[in-house]
Structure 1
């Protein structure tokens, strides 16, 4: 009986303990409910007071992005909405651990801020259902693996992670090759030196932000701009995006950082360059400088058609062509310079051609406005000074004419030589203009070398007059001497005494 009673007491004690525990748990739950409600209200108030930046729209949804002030305090990751997770200040281990807790099958948006990750394994299954993935303002050492083939990522933000091209596109694999739904890529503020071609597919529209990567090759940007599907690629922060242009000449090597807007100009320029006539000239066209033309800023163009086996001057030059080089061709005439496309040409190089004269430049806009004209080593036979004189009277223009062997005559010595000496400041190589037939430099010509005329009897008129004056003086002297002898000695010397008497001799007796 005692035993049975003891058992009854034990059962009653266990029941009492169970009721007490249940009551205690219920009390804690009720205390947590107001607290959680208060926290949710506080978070809601904070979200109203501090709105995050508006997300960018993509074809499959929004680019999910949160600011530093929204970072969770107690945990490394927290669920912002049923489909969005935001993490801050994590390393590889903590990120993996936190994502395993916070991410669910409904999670489609992920933003990780300031993550220090040695190896980011993108082949993880938790990334498969994401449509927006952002890892920003951190330090990613290496990207390994490959996104799943059925990945739905439409927006990928990997900005400001100290990424290099070797990290973003490892040579052994292509981690982003399966992102066929990608429409927004933000890889700004990294250390990329190679254009992420694998991320910029040509079969869909995509917005790309590569600003802050100043050493991406300009040729890669230009290649994307010139493809048939260039209209599908939009560069975000276009005015802040720059590229690196290699400058190499013999031993000289340098890198020029320039805005990619210059490449747009280059793209349009390349189209105009292909229209230069004659066809298949294969000239190259590059922007030269910003120039004020007719009160408006224009990009002056430099065209290089040298060593192209041209037989005539090119025409239909790109608009605002300021410099033209057609050296080392087989050009014989300057007549096409009258073409309207030469209106803004100020520098013209036609060295080492077969041009015989410059008369065809008379009346052209070029000859009235040129700043540099080089026509060295051609086949000029003379210099038509009247064509050039008006322009050389002004300050600034330079003319190079050395290497030509002109025909030299008296006119050369009388006209061209003084003209060269008068304009020696505008013609720095004036001593290089030479005469044919090995007669030396034009400025060294002497009149006796070239000024020869056939003689006639008039060339001896002064000698005849001189002889007549001498004979007259001798005759007067002889007559005076004979008269003096006759008066003093009474006879006439020879030959006066042999001369017959004349009727007028009585006048002298």
Structure 2
């Protein structure tokens, strides 16, 4: 009897503990999740926290967006789970949470009597190999309110998400997703929160097509290419405001690396507005090619090629550094000298125009500070070589000067100086070997590369006449002989005066 009492007492104690635990679990399962109004934008530096993402859940009331607590609701180290080998799901928790590893192959077995699982939140770790089955399996969870997909190798969705009556939150993070169609989530009419952070998204074709009741879109942590079109963030405020973390979007492309996307798009819109407002630039292409790292000053390029321009534009946007105006009818380059809108322009492309004179740029600020000057294919015949030599010698920024495809005319003096200039600055005049000129040889006009011409060629001295004495040389010889004769006579007279005390006879004849 004592033993029975002992057993009965023990059983009663176990029941008391078990009842207390059951009651506690029931209370926890009945507790409602706290409402979250903003996403946590601070990411910790540890590997475990970086791998652990917050699962977004939905409260019982359909219009309220909730966030599931972290911890077990994570895909960190999911491949070590026993269900991962077969692409299966774990058992449904009491609060309607379903966790699947690499697939949902046992979803039918988990359902009771063929009824759909009453899952409200689902965490899918690893994308299933057969993505086509995913849609069908997903529709077996009609009461699903929150879906999270993490740690997957897929790069794009080959399908659009089906219509789900209760699905309000989709979180796709830590995957290789690099492209997403604007229509991917169009049919999810109840969607309120879409989290696409920490993927490999490079661009969006445009704003995503989302339901009218949509509230929050998260896009940070992706390697965005800001050379693509994201102007809709500013041009469509009703769409841009949905991107909750828009101030955290950073560019990773080479041109705008580590710049804020909103800042880049703002500069692009301002440049477009400025160019379209001026008649000279209305048909030109205006681009931003760089942003200075510390000052965050944008640098612009204006391209007005093939526009039948007869003169350089009278106006350029502030901070324009490059002007490309090839294949036009320009003959005057005076704006480079005195137009204040050109004070920051260091690269000028004037290929295939009608420029015949650049001497007006002599001793100007622009010529002493330019970086690139393309004069190929113009009408240049001569220039002040000494002025260009001085400018290139003083200009530490000079990187490229192109002079080929011009009808240079090599006289003896100019041709020799031009050849010396091309040899001296061959690292800057990189088309020096292609610079050709016309020259006269025996009354015949010839064309040859300047660097291949000799003094005999340009000074019209033939090889046969090279040994003949020029009349000027004859004159020089006569003058030299006279000088020697005078010096000899002076020495003779000095000798006679010193030793014989006789003055020259011409002195005796003088009155």
Task: Please state which band the TM-score falls in when normalised by the shorter chain.
Answer: 0.5 to 0.7
Q: Which has the higher strand share?
A: 1
- Tell me how far 1:426 sits from its aligned partner: 4.1
**Residue 155 of structure 1 is aligned with which of 164, 169, 173?**
169
Which residue of 283, 307, 313 corresponds with 2:285?
Answer: 283
How far, CA to CA, are the matches of 2:141 and 2:29 in structure 1? Answer: 27
Residue 78 of structure 1: aligned partner: 93
The equivalent residue for 2:230 is: 222
Kept in 1, the 8 Å contact 2:408–2:438? The answer is yes
Contact preservation (8 Å) 1:272, 1:317? no
CA shift for structure 1 position 354: 0.6
Query: Helix, strand or coil: the match of 1:35?
Result: helix
The answer to whether the 8 A contact 1:134-1:157 is kept is: yes
Count the aligned residue pairs: 401
Q: How much does 1:385 deviate?
A: 3.6
Q: Provide the TM-score with structure 2 as the length reference.
A: 0.58
The alpha carbon displacement at 1:353 in A equals 0.8
Q: How many angstroms apart in 2 are the aligned matches of 1:422 and 1:197?
A: 53
- Consecutive unaligned residues of structure 2, counting only runs of 5 or more, are 1-10, 35-48, 75-80, 82-88, 462-471, 483-511
User: Partners in 2 of 1:124 and 1:287 — Cα distance?
Assistant: 48
Deviation track 1:326-348 (CA, whole Å, cap 9, x = no partner) reads 22222221123243333232222
SS of the residue 2:93 aligns to: strand
Distance 1:444 1:341, change over 3 A: farther
Q: Secondary structure at the match of 1:121?
A: helix
Q: Which residue of 2 aligns with 1:475?
A: none
1:76/1:98 contact within 8 Å kept: yes
1:472-483 equivalence runs, <5 A? none
TM-score normalised by structure 1 residue count: 0.58
Shift of 1:186: 1.7
CA distance 1:162–1:225, change in 2 (3 Å): same
- The residue aligned with 1:92 is 104
Picking from 112, 115, 121, the partner of 2:123 is 112
Question: Which entry has the higher C-alpha Rg, 1 or 2?
Answer: 1
1:8-27 mapped onto 2 (5 Å cutoff): none
C-alpha separation in 1, matches of 2:426 and 2:158: 67
Give the C-alpha shift of residue 434 in structure 1.
Answer: 1.8
Distance 1:273 1:224, change over 3 A: closer
- The answer to whether the 8 A contact 1:357-1:380 is kept is yes
Tell me, in whole angstroms, the C-alpha distance in 2 between the residues paired with 1:462 and 1:368. Answer: 44
**Pairing 1:190-229 to 2, within 5 Å after superposition:** 195=204, 199-201=208-210, 207-210=216-219, 221-222=229-230, 224-225=232-233, 228-229=236-237
- 1:83-132 deviations in whole A, cap 9, x for unaligned? xx32224652555666879976xx9x6242537655333774854683x4
Contact 1:306–1:327 (8 Å) recurs in 2 = yes
Question: Match of 2:19?
Answer: 33
More helix by share: 1
Decide which of 193, 203, 222 is 1:184's aligned counterpart.
Answer: 193
Q: Corresponding residue for 2:4?
A: none
SS at match of 1:78: coil
Whether contact under 8 Å (1:190, 1:213) holds in the other structure is yes
1:48-59 to 2 correspondences below 5 Å? none
Q: Which residue is 1:62 aligned to?
A: 65
SS of the residue corresponding to residue 222 of structure 1 reads coil
Q: CA deviation at 1:373?
A: 1.5
Hey, what does 1:399 align to over in structure 2?
Answer: 401
Report the aligned-residue RMSD: 5.5
* 1:376 alignment partner, SS class: coil
1:373 corresponds to:
373
2:271 is the alignment partner of 1:272:
yes
Gaps (5+ residues) in structure 1?
A: 1-24, 246-255, 451-458, 470-509
